[in-house]
Amino acid sequence: MEPKRPSIPMQVQVFRRRNGRPRWPWALAAALVALLLIWLVPRSPDESSAPSPSPVSMTQTPGSPWQMGNPEGRFTLTLYADLECPFCREYFPQLKRWVGNNTDVALQWHHLPLAAHEPAASAEARLAECAGEAGSHAAFWQAVEWVYAHTRSDGQGLPEGLRYPDLTPAIEQCLASERPDAPIRAQTAEATNSGVIATPSLRLHDRETGKAILLQGPIEGDALLSAIDMLATGNSASDTAAAPTIPTSEMPADVVGDMPR
């Protein structure tokens, strides 16, 4: 007769069954809880996941006056220019490079077609205005650069039969209208009333103090930096009306003689 095995108490049997269950579901649950806690912990701003600083906005409000550079910068440099002026043509690329290297400056165009350069000067100004109207600021400056690259200057205008390569139906429609004439006439009158009689001329305006300086150009980059320093260290914005006119260079006699009267 086979000996009788001793019976195992019920509590021990239950323990063995529980102890025999696989433990990985509990480990998985604990890991998930830990990951959740890590995710919910606030992250410090210097972590790599933090968004990088946004670059300075270079967007401009559509329409004249046309600008390049940083519209949010402290200084606005207005260029009074004639698209038939040979001195403007030579100076413009230098000024563009200088503005590109000074991020606190916006360059603003101001039409001043000279009487001796008509009708070519106004015709080219109309083209630039219509290009800007159709394509905004970048298109305006592209048209200015194209005109300076192809004009014969001194009122001779563009070569006969040469057409603007980026001419679009929108630009053609604008050229057939009187829309571009209004800003050209208004800017010319404003320049004359402000005492600007030569091209190129520059007006440097400090948006923080309200002060401005009229510079009869072309002006070298170092002189522009000196003018910026002078405005930045000025007394107060209350002296705006008494802002000085500082001719830093003399214009050739023939250019001065071409000024509107």
Domains and CATH numbers, the chain: 70-257 (3.40.30.10)
Pairing of strands 105-111, 75-81: parallel
Is the pTM above the cut of 0.85?
Answer: no
pLDDT of residue 189: 96
pLDDT of residue 260: 33
Contact 211, 240 (CB under 8 A): yes
Report how far residue 211's alpha carbon sits from residue 108's, in angstroms, rounded to the nearest whole number.
16
Residues 5-53: tens digit of each pLDDT: 555 444 434 334 444 555 555 544 454 444 443 333 333 334 333 333 3
DSSP codes joined into one string, 66-81: PEEE-TTSSEEEEEEE
**What are phi and psi for residue 76, nearest 5 degrees?**
-115, 125
Q: Residue 217: how many CB atoms within 10 A of its CB?
A: 23
Q: Residue 45: how many CB atoms within 10 A of its CB?
A: 7
Stretches where the chain sits below pLDDT 50 are 8-19, 27-29, 31-58, 235-261
pLDDT of residue 5: 52
3-state secondary structure of 174: helix
H helix runs in the chain, sequence order: 10-19, 24-40, 86-100, 120-150, 169-175, 181-193, 221-232, 253-257
pLDDT of residue 54: 29
Q: Residue 21: how many CB atoms within 10 A of its CB?
A: 9
Type and span of the H or E element at 206: strand 201-206
Query: What is the residue type of 10?
Result: M
3-state secondary structure of 58: coil
